[in-house]
Amino acid sequence: MNDVDSVLYSVDPVIFTFHKSELSVLLVKRQIEPYKALWGLPGGRVDKDKCANLAEALKLKLKQKTGIDQLFFEQLETYGSESMDPRGWSVTTAYLALTHEDELSFASLKNTEAMMWMSLEDVEALPKMAFWHRKIIRDAFSRLRDKSLYTDLPVNFMPEKFTYPALKSAYEKIIGVEITRQGFARRMNSANIFEDTGEREEGKNRPSPLYRKSQRGGAYVFPGLIKGVKNDK
């Protein structure tokens, strides 16, 4: 076996959702060494015999470990080091993935006690995590926050039908600032990427209209940053 063949190659999705109104990441507790019993991302080794490319490898791992087969994802970064995995030189390609919480049904999975949504605050409080997963999660959140300033990326947290107040709340929790209701609605309407379903949410005294995205998938790029958010780069 040559040096290239001996490199361990994996894919690691950072799956974010809003769980109990908090931005959270999906973690699994490792059942084997290395890092047995530590929390980590639901990724794994690339199966070269079953996958023709990295996207296929990611989808396979997602299906195997979470049961999810439909969610938004984009490539985040590739990490490689001789120190990332105690078994030897390793490379992993990480992905930023976003989903609505209901897309994952723990009841349909095995070993659900070893899988959970964990808030980012609780992730930071963990004394140790598997591999470089804490750093990867931090990098994924930075990407999410930065792109939320100028794209519609947070819509991927929404169910098929959603209200502007729910979407605005997601934006505010990601970027950490309050957005005016009028300014947010004006920004979304000007993009012409959402359609009014003609329905309204149930159980509210003043129910808001329900919208859907005209075409789910890639991010729409707004002409400027969200008003009131300072670009500190």
Residue numbers of the domain that contains 195 = 153-213
Residue 42 has pLDDT above 50, yes or no: yes
Which of 95, 129, 147 delimits the end of a domain? 147
- Inter-residue contact 131 to 84 (CB < 8 Å): yes
* Cα 134 to Cα 150: distance, rounded to the nearest angstrom: 26
Residue ending a domain, choose from 147, 177, 201? 147
Same structural domain, 24 and 115 = yes
By three-state DSSP, how is residue 60 classified?
helix
Q: Are residues 40 and 93 in the same domain?
A: yes
Q: Using an 8 Å Cβ cutoff, are 43 and 10 in contact? A: yes
Amino acid at 228: G
Burial of 167 (0-12, 13-18, 19+ CB in 10 A): buried
Q: Specify the higher pLDDT residue, 213 or 233.
A: 213
Same domain for 16 and 68: yes
Tell whether 143 and 183 lie within a shared domain: no
Are 85 and 104 contained in the same domain?
Answer: yes
Amino acid letter at 125?
A: A
The pLDDT of residue 216: 53
CA nearest 136: which of 12, 7, 2, 9? Answer: 12
Helical residues (DSSP H) of the chain, grouped into ranges = 3-6, 54-66, 120-125, 133-148, 164-175, 181-191
**126 and 38 assigned to the same domain:** yes
**According to the model, what pLDDT value does residue 228 have?**
55
pLDDT for residue 44: 92
36/136 same-domain check: yes
- Residues 118, 25 share a domain: yes
| CATH code for the domain in which residue 166 is found | 1.10.10.10
Alpha-carbon gap, residue 145 to 135, rounded angstroms = 15
pLDDT tens digits along 83-128: 989 998 999 999 999 999 988 876 556 655 589 999 999 999 999 9
Residue 174 and residue 81 share a domain: no
Same domain for 162 and 106:
no
Clarify whether residues 130 and 167 are in a common domain.
Answer: no
Task: Give the pLDDT score at 202.
Answer: 86
pLDDT band at 1 (very low <50, low <70, confident <90, very high): very low
Between β-strands 8-19 and 22-29, what pairing exists: parallel, antiparallel or unpaired?
antiparallel
The count of domains in the chain is: 2
The pTM of this model reads 0.90
- Residues 113 and 47 occupy one common structural domain: yes
Chain segment 130-170, per-residue pLDDT in tens: 999 999 999 999 999 999 999 999 999 999 999 999 999 99
Q: Residue 188: is its pLDDT beyond 60?
A: yes
User: Strand 8-19 vs strand 44-45: parallel, antiparallel, or unpaired?
Assistant: antiparallel
